[in-house]
């Protein structure tokens, strides 16, 4: 008997056992893509019975795809409770076998990042006959309750898995980015702030600015409602939305620099003046109402980067904010330091993918964003642009 507590020890034993023994009997809550999966596939003929759980859609569809219509590998979802064993039996004879039992699922995370504890039992241990008998019985009973996946069922499972995966990342509190060892969501002060605390901070010594910012949002919203496409606006209207100097003759338009001034972005200014069609097509991907998904965002970035081939997060997010201030904040030089500190994320190296994973998804899961409770007309207007107003909280001249 031996206790395995490191990923390297666990992986090394799995590789040895897969190579050494003739028959495999496994039951695991989840399975996924990993280096160990390749080892298993090279020894696929040794599989006698493997049963894998699919609760919470944590078994990767690519693992299932390797065993389509394969009766020896079945998948199970209990009608009540959770299928949660991790038992791996490697067998030659009843007198020559080894078994891994512990916390590790057959997933990439188990062999790389997770903290796991696994016991290695052998046929030489005390009560070894009972251990083998009970282990084989457990695998056999659950295998009989499992089902074989076919191509149609896998396609259906993959659709749901794609929907659920972002939720699982969100529940982990660490989202998609691992750069800078970001804080879990409950430790990021911005996410636990209540609506009342959010409004109080906005109003603190900033009542005049609050009114000016609301007016900028009002002008921008009117421009997007006025024209179906950004390229149909006149030059000064486009410049106002883009956050660059303009001559828009509307009350409050002189505060165009609020929410992220782009007056120093020379290339961006030129493309706005030239009315570059890719900017307009990018903004067309973002609906004025309803949910904004990663697909909407990715489509925006795909068009935007046809013109701006570098890393233009500041200018891109200024445009996004002005069209959907309830979802986006402009990530610029004046707010990024305090924003990243409060969000618990790394400031350097921000790019389009990290902006969605580290910022937008945290906004979506924030208490003040999920549960707004406006008490008057002014607070209602703030609520309709609440993500944009993070700039007011984090702006540092």
Question: 186 falls in which pLDDT band (50, 70, 90)?
Answer: low
CATH dotted code for 2-172: 3.30.870.10
- What mean pLDDT value characterizes the chain? 92
Question: 79 falls in which pLDDT band (50, 70, 90)?
Answer: low
- Model pLDDT for residues 106-147, shown as the tens digit of each residue: 999 999 989 999 999 999 998 888 999 999 999 999 999 999
pLDDT of residue 320 exceeding 80, the answer is yes
Bridge partners (DSSP) listed for residue 279: none
pLDDT of residue 69: 95
Question: For 364-385, what is the mean pLDDT?
Answer: 95
Are 330 and 389 a contacting pair, CB within 8 Å?
no
Neighbours of 100 (CB within 10 A): 21
Cα–Cα dist 92/133, whole Å = 14
Q: From residue 245, how far is each of 211, 261, 288, 328 by CA, in Å?
A: 20, 9, 25, 22
pLDDT of residue 334: 92
Q: What number of CA atoms fall less than 13 Å from residue 322's CA on the CB side?
A: 31
Cα–Cα dist 226/229, whole Å = 9
pLDDT of residue 23 exceeding 90, the answer is yes
Domain definitions of the chain by residue range? 2-172, 185-394
Q: Model-level pTM?
A: 0.71
**All residues at 6 or more sequence positions from 51 whose CB lies less than 8 Å from its CB, including other chains:** 26, 27, 28, 73, 74, 75, 76, 139, 142, 143, 145, 146
Are 280 and 229 a contacting pair, CB within 8 Å?
yes
**When comparing pLDDT for 307 and 168, which is higher?**
307
Element (H, E) at 371: none
Cα–Cα dist 171/49, whole Å = 32
Tell how strand 23-28 and strand 86-93 pair up: antiparallel
Cα–Cα dist 44/24, whole Å = 9
pLDDT of residue 171: 62
Question: 176 falls in which pLDDT band (50, 70, 90)?
Answer: very low
**All residues at 6 or more sequence positions from 26 whose CB lies less than 8 Å from its CB, including other chains:** 49, 50, 51, 52, 87, 88, 89, 106, 139
- Model pLDDT for residues 208-232, shown as the tens digit of each residue: 789 999 999 999 999 999 999 999 9
Question: For 86-95, what is the mean pLDDT?
Answer: 97
Q: From residue 352, how far is each of 27, 293, 302, 326, 356 by CA, in Å?
A: 40, 14, 10, 18, 7
The first and second tokens of residue 242, run together, are 């883009």
- Model pLDDT for residues 236-272, shown as the tens digit of each residue: 999 999 999 999 999 999 999 999 999 999 999 999 9
**All residues at 6 or more sequence positions from 222 whose CB lies less than 8 Å from its CB, including other chains:** none
Reported for 289-298, long-range contacts at CB under 8 A and 24+ positions apart, including other chains, are 292/324, 292/327, 294/166, 294/356, 297/356, 297/360
- Helix segments in the chain, DSSP class H: 7-20, 35-42, 61-65, 108-112, 128-145, 151-172, 189-192, 195-203, 207-226, 235-242, 266-273, 277-284, 294-307, 313-323, 336-343, 352-354, 361-364, 367-370, 377-383, 390-394
pLDDT of residue 169: 64
pLDDT of residue 164 exceeding 90, the answer is no
**All residues at 6 or more sequence positions from 292 whose CB lies less than 8 Å from its CB, including other chains:** 286, 324, 327
First to last CA, the chain: 63
Cα–Cα dist 36/109, whole Å = 11
pLDDT of residue 190: 78
């Amino acid at each position: 008997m031996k206790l395995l507590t490191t990923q390297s020890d666990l992986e090394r034993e799995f590789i040895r056992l897969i190579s050494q023994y003739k028959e495999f009997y496994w039951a695991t809550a989840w399975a996924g893509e990993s280096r160990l999966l390749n080892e298993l596939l090279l020894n696929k003929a040794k599989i006698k019975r493997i049963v894998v759980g699919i609760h919470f859609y944590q078994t990767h569809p690519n693992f299932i795809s390797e065993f389509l219509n394969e009766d020896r590998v079945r998948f199970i979802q209990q009608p009540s409770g959770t299928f949660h064993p991790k038992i791996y039996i490697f067998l030659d004879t009843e007198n020559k076998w080894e078994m891994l039992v512990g916390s590790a699922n057959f997933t990439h995370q188990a062999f790389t990042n997770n903290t796991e504890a696994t016991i290695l039992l052998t046929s030489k241990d005390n009560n070894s006959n009972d251990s083998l008998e009970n282990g084989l019985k457990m695998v056999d009973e659950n295998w009989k309750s499992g089902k074989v996946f076919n191509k149609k069922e896998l396609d259906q499972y993959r659709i749901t898995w794609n929907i659920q995966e972002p939720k699982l990342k969100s529940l982990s509190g660490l989202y998609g980015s691992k750069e800078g060892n970001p804080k879990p969501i409950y430790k990021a002060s911005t996410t636990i702030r209540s609506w009342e605390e959010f409004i109080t901070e906005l109003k603190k010594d900033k009542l005049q600015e609050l009114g000016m910012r609301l007016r900028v949002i009002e002008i921008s919203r009117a421009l997007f409602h006025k024209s179906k496409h950004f390229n149909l606006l006149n030059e000064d209207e486009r410049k106002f939305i883009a956050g660059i100097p303009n001559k828009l003759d509307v009350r409050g338009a002189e505060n165009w620099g609020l929410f992220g001034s782009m007056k120093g972005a020379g290339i961006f200014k030129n493309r706005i003046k030239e009315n570059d069609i890719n900017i307009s097509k990018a903004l067309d991907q973002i609906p004025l109402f309803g949910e904004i998904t990663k697909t909407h965002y990715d489509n925006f970035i795909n068009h935007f980067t046809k013109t701006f081939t570098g890393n233009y997060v500041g200018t891109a997010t200024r445009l996004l904010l002005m069209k959907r201030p309830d979802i986006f904040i402009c990530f610029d030089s004046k707010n990024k330091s305090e924003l990243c500190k409060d969000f618990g994320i790394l400031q350097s190296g921000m790019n389009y993918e990290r902006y969605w994973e580290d910022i937008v998804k945290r906004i979506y899961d924030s208490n003040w964003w999920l549960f707004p409770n406006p008490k008057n007309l002014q607070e209602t207007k703030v609520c309709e642009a609440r993500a944009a107003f993070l700039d007011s909280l984090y702006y540092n001249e």
